[in-house]
Amino acid sequence: EWTMAHFRAEEIAKIRKQVGDKRVICGLSGGVDSSVAAVLIHEAIGDQLTCIYVDHGLMRLNESEQVVTVFRDHYNIPLIHRDASDLFLGKLAGVTDPEKKRKIIGGLFIDVFEEEAAKIGGADFLAQGTLYPDVIESVSFHGGPSVTIKSHHNVGGLPERMNMQLVEPLRELFKDEVRDLGRELGLPEILVGRHPFPGPGLAIRIPGEVTREAADILRQADAVYLDEIRKAGLYDEIWQAFAVLLPVKTVGVMGDSRTYDHVCALRAVTSTDGMTADSYPFDHSFLSACATRIINEVRGVNRVVYDCTSKPPGTIEWE
């Protein structure tokens, strides 16, 4: 009988055999896949593993602290936390084209990761949280002629540049199985059950120019929205939910004064694999409550709209 406990034991044996006494580095994103991979590999080889977390300043509220706390303090996994927000936001200044933003972020991510890896003397192995669907997709995305809708960035861009052997213990698993394995390894639910989050982070949820101010506003609005979703008990029913900050200002009224502030769009979708998706059918009262709270609590937003587009024709993210 196949169980997660068996899988865990088998993979640990395989990792030990593959790696021997060599060193491994792992890029942590804060997402489920890289987190589970890191904890599993750490269980196998202990401090031969070093994790590198590149913080681009475009994470959600408190996300970086959570990652650092779980890995460094709770699991005692050696972790380099590089705050590169000035670098990323600096290079993104004035850039509005979605693909340019993605390319800049993906490229910088690799530069910073390599720099940090070199500082600790490099390693022979690179660990990644590649899943089975990632393996399939990279063989033939949609099976048709290759059309780039978006240049996806995750830690997966690293191998071609880094000339290292890969350690990919999750290669045979689907997302729900990775979550089970994470639970088996004792990872906190806040990490294991977390909605997917794109590598470029909030940058692709701020159409137009990405500034620190816009990212701060979006972080606040996103946190209020997700707090409402959790309180309503809907978090686990939804594949992914997030706020988008539009580069559009509209007129409003607050007390007896005129306001002129940004529009915030809310998105929530159900999906099984992210390839197709439906917008989540919230009750209208839930959405109005979110709008009220966001406008009251987040300075810089005076109007909230809900995105009811499916994928296709929309994509899940806005850029």
Q: Could you say whether residue 311 binds ligand XMP (CB under 6 A)?
A: yes
Among 85, 211, 270, 315, binds ligand XMP (CB under 6 A): 315
Which DSSP string do the residues of the chain spell out, in sequence order? ---HHHHHHHHHHHHHHHHTT--EEEEE-SSHHHHHHHHHHHHHHGGGEEEEEEE-S-SPTTHHHHHHIIIIIIS---EEEEE-HHHHHHHHTT---HHHHHHHHHHHHHHHHHHHHHHTT--SEEE----HHHHHHHH-STTSS---SS---SGGGHHHHH--EEE-TTTT--HHHHHHHHHHTT--HHHHTPPP--TTGGGGGS-S---HHHHHHHHHHHHHHHHHHHHTT-GGG-SEEEEEEEEEEEEEEETTEEEEEEEEEEEEEE-SSSSSBEE----HHHHHHHHHHHHHHSTTEEEEEE----BTTS-SS--
CB nearer to ligand XMP: give 121 or 145.
145
Q: Could you say whether residue 103 binds ligand XMP (CB under 6 A)?
A: no
- Segment contacting ligand XMP by CB under 6 A, of 129-137, 167-175, 247-255, 311-319: 311-319
CB nearer to ligand XMP: give 210 or 295.
210
CA dihedral in degrees (113, 319, 205, 38; nearest 10)?
Answer: -30
Known binding residue 285? Answer is no
In sequence order, what are the residues at sequence separation of 6 or more whose Cβ sits closer than 8 angstroms to the Cβ of residue 285? Answer: none
CB nearer to ligand XMP: give 45 or 221.
221
Task: Please list every residue from 139 through 168 that binds ligand XMP, using CB under 6 A.
Answer: 150, 152-154
Known binding residue 33? Answer is yes
Known binding residue 151? Answer is no
CB nearer to ligand XMP: give 44 or 67.
67
Known binding residue 85? Answer is no
- Segment contacting ligand XMP by CB under 6 A, of 38-46, 162-170, 191-199, 250-258: 191-199
Q: Could you say whether residue 240 binds ligand XMP (CB under 6 A)?
A: yes
Q: Nearest approach, Cβ of 125 to ligand XMP (angstroms)?
A: 21
Q: Could you say whether residue 196 binds ligand XMP (CB under 6 A)?
A: yes
Q: Nearest approach, Cβ of 317 to ligand XMP (angstroms)?
A: 3
Known binding residue 300? Answer is no
Q: Could you say whether residue 34 binds ligand XMP (CB under 6 A)?
A: no
CB nearer to ligand XMP: give 142 or 230.
142
Which residue from 298, 297, 296, 304 is spatially nearest to 250, judged by alpha carbons?
A: 304
Q: What are phi and psi of 208, to 5 degrees?
A: 90, -160
Q: Nearest approach, Cβ of 129 to ligand XMP (angstroms)?
A: 10
Among 188, 252, 274, 300, binds ligand XMP (CB under 6 A): 274
Among 57, 182, 200, 201, binds ligand XMP (CB under 6 A): 200
Among 198, 202, 214, 264, binds ligand XMP (CB under 6 A): 198
Contact set with ligand XMP (CB under 6 A): 150, 152-154, 196, 198-200, 240, 274, 311, 315-317
Residues in the annotated binding site: 29-35
